[in-house]
Amino acid sequence: MEIRSIKTPGFIKSLFIALLTLSVSFESKAEDINIVTTNTILADITSEVTGKHAVIYSLVGYDEEVHAFNPKPSDLKKLKEADIIIANGKNLEGWLSRIDDKNKIVEASKGIKSIKKDGYEDPHGWNSPYNANIYIDNIAYAACAKIPAYCNEFKDNANKYKQTFNELTIKYKQLYDALPQENKKAITAHDAFGYLARDFEITFIPIKGVNEETEISAQILAQIIKQIRESGIKVIFIENISNTHFAEQLTKETSATIGGELISDSLSKKNSVDTYYKMVDYNLKTVYEAFSSAK
């Protein structure tokens, strides 16, 4: 706006424009922030926390493979335009080390008590509701840092959201504690449920390791079959993102049956498990039902 002296005719016009702008800015929000998340689970948590104040985009979509993701040029563009990048961390997104703007990255799993396997940290923290609180807090903290204006709202949302998970945890912990220990074991497609196993005292034996990509060998498959036969495992869980041939082969060779499809690394359109809360609830319910109906 040009600076004019009070006496010039343009002053009234300028004053009018200034008043107009001021009144408009009282009503509008601070600009929405642009958040990019690496998967749909994080996107869902973020949208619960930030409500309508953020535009969220998830790089990996519903029912898609998280471990083997490789960003396309359009993804890199979105990462550049983002104000915050929410990633899981613990090496789930190995490709993130190659991008610029690393200071925009928020590690959602920071602070969980991690499980170490063969020198790797298990990244699948989100699968246990006990860790949900930490994820929610990390994301709320990052959102607050970016737009302090709405921090109270974010904290409110986060607390309400955390409460739902606390209730879920209490409900299921009771149910699981009531099951006999020898019922609480199963095979899973890949090593995605380590934290669930630890927190609910279940034994999960994965077919593929922490990383979905590793090719299986006859020795591993034979070992799993042997283990199922010897320890009397009755339940096998398949997953929404992996192929089911292994599981089918296992059911043919042992007396175990498929106890259901779990949602492991990605929210799913298939079973309408399209929010993080629904996913954890669905997994806990499916596993519980399979365990209690076996034998």
Partner 1 sequence: MYEILIQPFVEYGFMFKSLLGCVLISLCAPMLGLFLILKKMSLTGDAISHAILPGVAIGYAVAGLSVTIMTLGGFIAGSLVIVLSGFVSRYTKKGEDSALAVFYLISLALGILIISLNGSNIDLLSILFGSLLTINDECLILLSSITLITIVTMLVIRRPFIIDCIDPDFLIHNDINGHHYHIIFMILVVLNLIAGFQTIGTLMAVGLLILPAAIIRLWLNNIVLSCLISPLIVIISCYCGLIASFYYNYPTTPIIILALGLLYLISVFLGTNGGILWKYVRLKHLDS
Answer for the pair 162, 274: CB distance below 8 angstroms, yes or no: no
If one asks whether residue 167 binds partner 1 (CB under 8 A), the answer comes out as no
Between 12 and 222, CB nearer to partner 1:
222
If one asks whether residue 242 binds partner 1 (CB under 8 A), the answer comes out as yes
Work out which of 221, 227, 257, 271 binds partner 1, going by CB under 8 A. 221
Site string for partner 1, 180-219 (x = CB under 8 A): ---------------------------------x-xxxxx
- Give the integer Cα–Cα distance in Å for 295 and 292: 8
Enter the DSSP assignment of 255. S
Work out which of 65, 101, 201, 289 binds partner 1, going by CB under 8 A. 65
Between 78 and 155, CB nearer to partner 1:
78
Task: Name the strand (E) or helix (H) holding 121.
Answer: strand 120-121
C-beta of 65: minimal distance to partner 1 in Å? 5
Angle among Cα 48, 29, 158 to the nearest 5 degrees reads 20
Answer for the pair 90, 110: CB distance below 8 angstroms, yes or no: no
Which residue, chain included where needed, has tokens 């997953």?
239
295, with CB counted inside 10 A (0-12, 13-18, 19+), is: exposed
Q: How many residues bind partner 1 (CB under 8 A)?
A: 29
Work out which of 253, 255, 270, 285 binds partner 1, going by CB under 8 A. 253
Work out which of 14, 33, 63, 227 binds partner 1, going by CB under 8 A. 63
Residue 111 Rama label (left phi>0; alpha psi -120 to 50; beta): left
If one asks whether residue 241 binds partner 1 (CB under 8 A), the answer comes out as yes
- Give the integer Cα–Cα distance in Å for 123 and 11: 62
Answer for the pair 109, 91: CB distance below 8 angstroms, yes or no: no
Terminal alpha carbon distance of the chain? 79
Binding segment for partner 1 among 7-15, 96-104, 135-143, 249-257 (CB under 8 A)?
249-257
- Give the integer Cα–Cα distance in Å for 264 and 57: 20
Binding segment for partner 1 among 42-50, 62-70, 88-96, 282-290 (CB under 8 A)?
62-70
Work out which of 33, 179, 225, 258 binds partner 1, going by CB under 8 A. 225
If one asks whether residue 252 binds partner 1 (CB under 8 A), the answer comes out as yes
Query: What residues make contact with partner 1 under the rule CB under 8 A?
Result: 60-61, 63-65, 68-70, 72, 213, 215-222, 225, 241-246, 248-249, 252-253
